[in-house]
Amino acid sequence: MRVLLIEDHRPLVRALKQGLEEEGFAVDVAFDGEEGDYKAQSANYDVIILDLMLPKEDGLSLLQRWRRKGLTTHVLVLTARSGIDDKVRGLNLGADDYLTKPFELEELLARLRALVRRGHQIKDPVLRIHDLELDTAAHTVKRGGQPIHLTPREYALLQFLAFHRGQVVSRSMIWEHLYNEEEENTSNVVDVYIRYLRNKIDKGFDPPLILTRWGEGYLLRGEGE
pLDDT 10s digits, 37-61: 999 988 889 999 999 889 999 989 9
3-state helix, strand, coil in the chain (%, to 5): 40, 20, 40
| pLDDT of 20 over the 70 cut | yes
Do 135 and 105 lie in a common domain?
A: no
Question: Residue 153's closest CA among 180, 113, 186?
Answer: 180
Encode pLDDT of 157-198 as tens digits.
999 999 899 899 998 888 888 877 777 666 588 888 899 999
* One domain for residues 113 and 130: no
**Domain presence at residue 193:** yes
- How many distinct structural domains can be found in the chain? 2
Over range 92-101, report the average pLDDT.
Answer: 88
CATH number, domain with residue 160:
1.10.10.10
Q: Does a structural domain hold residue 62?
A: yes
177 in the same domain as 92: no
Claim to verify: residue 79 and residue 130 sit in the same structural domain: no
Please determine, for residue 225, whether its predicted confidence score (pLDDT) is greater than 60: no
pLDDT tier, 224 (very low <50, low <70, confident <90, very high otherwise): low
- 96 pLDDT band (50/70/90 cuts)? very high
Domain edge (last residue) among 80, 100, 119: 119
Mean pLDDT (the chain, rounded): 89
Domain assignment present for residue 45? The answer is: yes
Q: Tell me which of 119, 138, 168 is where a domain ends.
A: 119
Residue 36 pLDDT class (50, 70, 90 cuts): very high
Does 123 have pLDDT greater than 80?
no
Asked if 105 and 153 sit in the same domain, the reply is no
DSSP one-letter code for 40: H
Q: Indicate whether 156 and 184 sit together in one domain.
A: yes
Domain final residue pick, 84, 119, 154: 119
Report the predicted TM-score, pTM, of the whole model to 2 decimal places. 0.78
Together in a domain, 7 and 85: yes
Q: Which helix (H) or strand (E) holds 140?
A: strand 140-143
For position 136, what pLDDT does the model report? Answer: 87
* Whether the predicted pLDDT of 153 surpasses 90: no
Domain match, 63 and 148 both: no
Q: What is the pLDDT of residue 57?
A: 92
User: What number is the average pLDDT over the span 16-41?
Assistant: 93
Helix 105-119 to helix 10-22 angle (10° resolution) is 60
In this prediction, residue 199 carries a pLDDT of 95
Structural domain containing residue 9: 2-119
Q: Whats the size of the chain, residue-wise?
A: 225
In a domain, 75, yes or no: yes
Same-domain status, 7 and 106: yes
Residue 15 has what pLDDT? 94
Confidence bin at 69 (pLDDT 50/70/90): very high
Q: What is the CATH number of the domain that holds 42?
A: 3.40.50.2300
pLDDT at 187: 59
Considering the domain architecture, whether residues 84 and 8 belong to the same structural domain is answered as yes
For residue 225, being part of any structural domain is answered with no
Who wins on pLDDT, 22 or 223?
22
Alpha helices in 58-179 (DSSP H): 59-69, 84-92, 105-119, 152-163, 171-178
